[in-house]
């Protein structure tokens, strides 16, 4: 099967007519071909988006909302097909695609389709003057997304951009392009006017960089690695583009002795290994108060060993394959590094799991737990983005906070304690954009989402996203 770009309302071949192999990471086999597009395809997409902008931006919010709701309904109707496509592309358990990824794509469209109906402008009164602020769409915007939650994060960007009246040139990760391709088909069925959304497939250093550098693209919303974010900022900042960068993380899980231990074990195992640890919000560094350290480690290992790593199509799978061969090799190299740094592997490691005949060439990693490292070694400072966690003891609250804040990242974290005052105090002290107390990955789409430090700039979600995708203008009128 050959995927196609979606440009000006049509599914088209890349101008180069070249294609990239698309590998199913659970089997290691090529199962489809991705357009190897370049700056010429991006140029066509930008022109189509520019031409569509007048029509789309002048539609009423209700009209735009209705079309986005149609798209949401179609995603929901095609949930099983999209979930299977996501699993074949990414390696994640099918039950996760069905329960999380695709329903969240539906929610993203519904949330922003209805949010835009309530997105009011402000006015400020002075004794003899009235200020009112309008918010207009920016024009053509670029959305670039990663492979870990493919349709989920793709729609998290394009839904607010479209709801606010922009036209979009989007690039999904070339590692997981399938659901973005299927979404193009659904957008045609939903009656989205030609050119409003354009999806250009291909490599980041060709398509992504052409989107970033294009002078007619007014803003870039990017989710991906910190290095790529730096490169995008280097190119886009001198052009004064608006930038929203959601980047890497190395999130801390802080477990205090007064936590509810059973619940904490259950939830922190999920927070460590969900989606094979390939969620930017996963807690990869666990710090445990010394008085419960031994019992925590014992129970955490026991619970982790019960996780089933198998064919993602198998209902029993808790973990499927990691996303690609290069990523598999990167994860294994970090496990080896941890050993070189003096870490002790309590379970998992570089042994290849036995899965089944279909998956014998797939990229599977057992959930891996490492102890005996200090908070400042490379294993604990660099993003691994796989099913690998470290556990370290701490002696007091100050030390826990210092360890949590010791990396260049500041995306998310979780705190486990029954002491409410401590929960507030520690949450305020941690340098992260998102903190959960006695829970993990509870998402309310109205809340600001994003990181501090090298985890990015800007916030997504709720009004933040609609503000990002609009330009404010203040008009001041003399009243007397």
**Residues of span 45-64 touching ligand NDP by CB under 6 A:** none
Q: Give me the long-range contacts of 400-405 (CB less than 8 A, separation at least 24).
A: 400/254, 400/256, 400/287, 400/289, 400/426, 401/426, 401/429, 401/430, 403/252, 403/285, 403/287, 403/375, 404/252, 404/254, 404/285, 404/287, 404/430, 404/431, 404/432, 405/429, 405/430, 405/431
Q: Is 259 a catalytic residue?
A: no
Which of residues 22 and 145 has its CB atom nearest to ligand NDP in the complex? 145
Shortest approach of ligand NDP to residue 447 CB, angstroms? Answer: 13
Q: Nearer Cβ to ligand NDP, position 209 or 310? A: 209
Q: Could you give the CA distance from residue 24 to residue 182 in angstroms, rounded to a whole number?
A: 17
Residue span binding ligand NDP (CB under 6 A) among the ranges 109-117, 167-175, 344-352, 370-378? 167-175
Does position 171 interact with ligand NDP (CB under 6 A)? The reply is: yes
Q: Which of 174, 267, 311, 464 binds ligand NDP (CB under 6 A)?
A: 174
Catalytic residue among 143, 167, 280, 359: 280
- CA–CA gap between residue 246 and residue 381 (Å, rounded): 18
Interatomic CA distance for residues 115 and 135, integer angstroms = 14
The C-alpha torsion from 153 through 157 and 158 to 164, rounded to 10°, is: 150
Residue 448 found at the interface with ligand NDP (CB under 6 A): no
Report the Cα 66 to chain-centroid distance in Å: 26
DSSP 8-state class, residue 375? T
Backbone angles phi, psi at 384, to 5 degrees: -95, -45
Kindly state whether residue 407 participates in binding ligand NDP, applying the rule CB under 6 A. no
Chain positions 198 to 227 lying near ligand NDP, rule: CB under 6 A, are 203-205, 208-209, 212, 223-225
CB 176 to ligand NDP: min, Å: 8
Residues 447, 108: contact at Cβ < 8 Å?
no
Least distance from ligand NDP to the Cβ atom of residue 292, Å: 29
Looking at the Cβ atoms of 292 and 388, the one nearer to ligand NDP is: 388
Q: How far is the CB of 154 from ligand NDP (least distance, A)?
A: 9
Strands 344-347 and 251-255: unpaired
Considering only residues 113-132, where is the footprint of ligand NDP by CB under 6 A?
none
Q: Is 428 exposed, middle or buried (0-12, 13-18, 19+ CB in 10 A)?
A: exposed
386 within 8 A of 334, measured Cβ to Cβ: yes
CB of 174 to ligand NDP, least distance (A): 4
Angle between helices 178-190 and 150-163 (to 10 degrees): 40
Compute φ and ψ for 142, nearest 5 degrees. -110, 135
* DSSP letters spanning 53-113: HHHHHHS-HHHHHHHHHHHHHHHHHTHHHHHHHHHHHH---HHHIIIIIHHHHHHHHHHHH
Q: Cβ 241 to ligand NDP, closest distance in Å?
A: 12
Q: Helix axis angle, 261-273 relative to 290-305, nearest 10°?
A: 60
Q: Does 148 bind ligand NDP (CB under 6 A)?
A: yes
Site map 247..276 versus ligand NDP, x via CB under 6 A? xxx---------------------------
Residue with tokens 């957008």: 187
Q: Which is nearer to ligand NDP, 264 or 276 (CB)?
A: 276
Nearer to ligand NDP by C-beta: 127 or 238?
238
Residue 393 touching ligand NDP (CB under 6 A): no
Which residues from 330-349 bind ligand NDP, rule CB under 6 A? none
Asked about 246 being catalytic, the answer comes back as yes
* Chain centroid to CA 460: 11
Q: Which of 23, 49, 105, 175 binds ligand NDP (CB under 6 A)?
A: 175
The site for ligand NDP, by CB under 6 A, has a size of 32
Q: Which stretch binds ligand NDP (CB under 6 A): 2-10, 53-61, 243-251, 367-375?
A: 243-251
Q: To 5 degrees, how large is the angle CA 392–CA 395–CA 399?
A: 80
Residue 147 as a binder of ligand NDP (CB under 6 A): the answer is: yes
Burial (CB count within 10 angstroms: exposed 0-12, middle 13-18, buried 19+), residue 347: middle
Nearer to ligand NDP, 78 or 284 (CB): 284
Q: Which of 46, 143, 233, 280 binds ligand NDP (CB under 6 A)?
A: 280
- 3-state SS record for 430-448: CCCCEEEECCCCCCCCCCC
Nearer Cβ to ligand NDP, position 264 or 414?
414
Q: Considering beta carbons, is residue 203 or 463 the nearer one to ligand NDP?
A: 203
Q: Does 33 interact with ligand NDP (rule: CB under 6 A)?
A: no
**CB-CB contact of 228 with 174 (8 Å):** no
- Binding segment for ligand NDP (CB under 6 A), chosen from 107-115, 127-135, 244-252, 434-442, is 244-252
Q: Measured from the CB of residue 62, what is the shortest distance to ligand NDP in angstroms?
A: 30
Selected binder of ligand NDP within 41, 86, 246, 464 (CB under 6 A): 246
Using the minimum distance from each CB to ligand NDP, give the nearer residue, 231 or 314: 231
Task: With CA atoms as reference, report the closest residue to 99 among 83, 114, 111.
Answer: 83
Query: Catalytic site residues?
Result: 246, 280
Q: Which residues bind ligand NDP (CB under 6 A)?
A: 144-148, 171, 173-175, 203-205, 208-209, 212, 223-225, 228, 231-232, 246-249, 280, 383, 385, 411, 451, 455-456
């Amino acid at each position: 099967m050959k995927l196609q770009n979606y440009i000006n309302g049509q599914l088209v071949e890349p101008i180069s007519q070249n294609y990239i192999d698309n590998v199913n990471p659970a089997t290691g086999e090529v199962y489809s071909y991705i357009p190897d597009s370049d700056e010429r395809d991006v140029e066509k997409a930008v022109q189509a988006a520019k031409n569509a902008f007048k029509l789309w931006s002048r539609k009423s919010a209700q009209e735009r909302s209705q079309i986005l709701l149609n798209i949401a309904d179609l995603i929901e109707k095609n949930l099983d097909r999209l979930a299977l496509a996501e699993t074949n592309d990414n390696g994640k358990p099918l039950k996760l695609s069905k329960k999380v990824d695709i329903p969240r794509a539906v929610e993203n469209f519904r949330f922003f389709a209805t949010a835009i109906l309530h997105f009011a402008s402000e006015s400020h009164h002075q004794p003899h003057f009235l200020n009112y602020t309008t918010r207009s769409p920016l024009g053509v915007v670029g959305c670039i997304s990663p492979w870990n939650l493919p349709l989920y994060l793709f729609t998290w960007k394009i839904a607010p951009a479209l709801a606010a009246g922009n036209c979009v040139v989007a690039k999904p990760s070339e590692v997981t392009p399938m659901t973005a391709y299927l979404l193009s088909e659904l957008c045609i069925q939903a009656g989205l006017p030609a050119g409003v959304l354009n999806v250009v497939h291909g490599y980041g250093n060709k398509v992504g960089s052409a989107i970033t550098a294009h002078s007619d693209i007014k803003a870039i919303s990017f989710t991906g690695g910190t290095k790529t974010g730096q490169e995008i900022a280097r190119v886009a900042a001198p052009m004064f583009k608006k930038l929203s960068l959601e980047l890497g993380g190395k999130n801390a899980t802080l477990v205090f002795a007064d936590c509810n231990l059973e619940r904490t074990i259950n939830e922190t195992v999920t927070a460590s290994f969900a989606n094979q640890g390939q969620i930017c919000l996963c807690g990869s560094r666990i710090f445990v108060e010394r008085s419960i350290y031994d019992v925590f480690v014992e129970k955490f290992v026991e619970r982790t060993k019960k996780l089933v790593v198998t064919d993602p199509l198998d209902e029993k799978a808790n973990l499927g394959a990691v996303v690609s061969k290069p990523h598999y090799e990167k994860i294994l190299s970090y496990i080896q590094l941890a050993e070189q740094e003096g870490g002790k592997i309590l379970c998992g490691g570089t042994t290849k799991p036995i899965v089944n005949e279909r998956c014998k060439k797939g990229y599977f990693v057992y959930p891996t737990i490492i102890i005996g490292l200090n908070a400042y070694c490379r294993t604990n400072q660099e993003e691994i983005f796989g099913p690998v966690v470290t556990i370290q003891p701490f002696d007091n609250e100050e030390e826990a906070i210092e360890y949590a804040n010791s990396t260049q990242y500041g995306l998310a974290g979780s705190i486990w304690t029954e002491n409410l005052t401590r929960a507030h105090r520690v949450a305020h002290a941690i340098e992260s954009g998102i903190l959960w107390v006695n829970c993990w990955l509870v998402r309310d789409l109205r809340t600001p989402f994003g990181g501090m430090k090298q985890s990015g700039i800007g916030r997504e979600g709720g009004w933040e996203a609609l503000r990002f995708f609009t330009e404010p203008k203040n008009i001041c009128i003399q009243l007397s």
